[in-house]
Structure 1
Amino acid sequence: MTDLRLVIFDVDGTLIDSQAHILAAMQAAFDANGLPAPPRADTLPIVGLSLPVAMARLVPDHADHHAPLVAAYKDAFATLRLSPEGAALSPLFPGARAALDRLASEDHTLMAIATGKSRRGMDHILDLHGLRGLFQSVQVADDHPSKPHPSMIHACLSDTGVDASRAVILGDTTYDIDMGVAAGIHALGVTWGYHPPASLTRAGATALIDRFDALPAALEAIGMPA
């Protein structure tokens, strides 16, 4: 069907408020490697990148620690996920579930995920929030170069058969926006995530939304009506 549209979602900072989980896992990873953890102001801007790229940016002078930091972060993140407070560490942002359910009910709308999370981490989120079956394509860091490389977007388009002109990425970082621009699709930014809204506009976001119930109107405005 030529009138199908595809809405691709980033996860951390867009659908999921995972800030507490990420910061706790990062602290544990650096502690395990005998290094001082980077401050919050340095950590949050790298959310969305694949872990090897993120660690290289956080500690460029400690290349020998990059792989151990990645491994320790993954272990800490999984341990925290299984802790009693695990479910509270990665809640959906307000309005996210209602927006997903609304889009899923539309005959001409498909949805996809393009995330810097691992497959294991994404599977946890899908199960935690009962999101399985909502997305026609789920692309994770295990299978692609790090954002902003457009590989994940290309895979979403291939999986769904939707033309790039009828696809949009919704994200909170310049990596998401840059990825969308590189893939030739529309890009919308959210104001509640990890990068300043002005940086998303500079990167090429067509528009910004400050709440999920503004998404339908934003899609209409960029020429992607339901």
Structure 2
Amino acid sequence: MATDLRLVVFDVDGTLVDSQADIVASMTAAFDGLGVAVPARADILSIVGLSLPQAMARLAPDADGDGLVRAYKAAYVERRAAAGARASSPLYPGARDALERLQAEPNILLGIATGKSRRGLDLLLDAYDLRPYFVTQQVADFHPSKPHPAMLHAAMNEAGVEADQAVMIGDTTFDMDMAGAAGMAFVGVSWGYHPAAHLTEAAAVLDDFDGLDPALAQIWER
């Protein structure tokens, strides 16, 4: 189906919001609570973007993965409730302005593909009043973990676009590989949780959100 629509799909943690303090603290609480050695901070951040069962399997393959998932969720919810979603997961500089610019374009649709749960994403979007920005929201509850392309296939189907009309924005190799598996272009960001040097398949790697619009224009002019 031919269309002039374009779809821009965003990762959340490490791309739109900086949630690393709560992620690391909640992982630490979960591992401590089950008497499992706490992974290094860099190792914890390296798995951000994966669904929790896959993340725990990487961090502690011999531990009780289900127990760690439950303990992490409980710790994360407790911290977020105490501080509020805005304090727990502040927007990166320029994120809201970028979303507003793109939403104002009549042929651009916005989406989300995240390892967060539906509940976690809803709380975040409501805290910033961002829910109306995104026509498609794909979460970990209903899809295989990144880098499986199911989230992006669903997003494109809901938006009514093909892969050459869509771009994934993210900070990790999981986002990059998911986009590649879906046949979509990928734009990386340097401020997230994986080193920018690892985003080797990115059409561009941004140092700030001001570079997003030119990067998208260049991709769609090809």
Q: 1:60 & 1:27 partners in 2: Cα distance? A: 16
CA contact (8 A) 2:85 2:123 kept: no
- 2:94 is aligned to 95
- 2:215 is aligned to 218
CA RMSD of superposed structures (Å): 1.2
TM-score (norm 2): 0.97
CA contact (8 A) 1:206 1:222 kept: yes
2:186 is aligned with 1:187: yes
CA contact (8 A) 1:148 1:175 kept: yes
Following superposition of structure 1 onto structure 2, how do residues 127-206 of structure 1 map, counting pairs within 5 Å?
A: 127-201=126-200, 204-206=201-203
CA contact (8 A) 1:9 1:170 kept: yes
Q: 1:84 & 1:66 partners in 2: Cα distance? A: 27
How far 1:61 sits from its partner (Å)? 2.2
Following superposition of structure 1 onto structure 2, how do residues 33-112 of structure 1 map, counting pairs within 5 Å?
A: 33-62=34-63, 65-84=64-83, 86-112=85-111
How far 1:137 sits from its partner (Å)? 0.3
- Most deviating of 84-93 and 115-124: 84-93
Instruction: Kindly provide the amino acid, as one letter, of the partner of residue 51 in structure 2.
Output: S
Deviation string 1:159-207 (CA, Å, 9 cap, x unpaired) is 0101110100000000000000000011110000011111102xx1111
> Could you tell me the percent identity over the aligned residues?
58
Matched residue pairs, number? Answer: 221
The DSSP-based 3-state class of the residue aligned with 2:220 is: coil
Instruction: Kindly provide the amino acid, as one letter, of the partner of residue 212 in structure 2.
Output: L
The DSSP-based 3-state class of the residue aligned with 2:83 is: coil
2:205 to 193, 204, 208: 208
Q: 2:172 & 2:83 partners in 1: Cα distance? A: 30
Q: 2:221 & 2:110 partners in 1: Cα distance? A: 13
The DSSP-based 3-state class of the residue aligned with 2:168 is: strand
Q: 2:24 & 2:85 partners in 1: Cα distance? A: 13
Q: 1:123 & 1:90 partners in 2: Cα distance? A: 13
Instruction: Kindly provide the amino acid, as one letter, of the partner of residue 172 in structure 2.
Output: T
Compared CA separation, residues 224 and 150, structure 1 to 2 (3 A): farther
How far 1:85 sits from its partner (Å)? 5.6
CA contact (8 A) 2:86 2:128 kept: no
Mark the runs of 5 or more structure 2 residues left unpaired by the alignment: none
Q: 2:100 & 2:221 partners in 1: Cα distance? A: 18
How far 1:70 sits from its partner (Å)? 0.3
The DSSP-based 3-state class of the residue aligned with 2:137 is: strand
Q: 2:24 & 2:188 partners in 1: Cα distance? A: 23
How far 1:217 sits from its partner (Å)? 0.2
Q: 1:7 & 1:118 partners in 2: Cα distance? A: 20
How far 1:32 sits from its partner (Å)? 1.6
The DSSP-based 3-state class of the residue aligned with 1:83 is: helix
TM-score (norm 1): 0.95
Deviation string 1:119-176 (CA, Å, 9 cap, x unpaired) is 1110111011110110000000000000000000000001010111010000000000
- 1:29 is aligned to 30
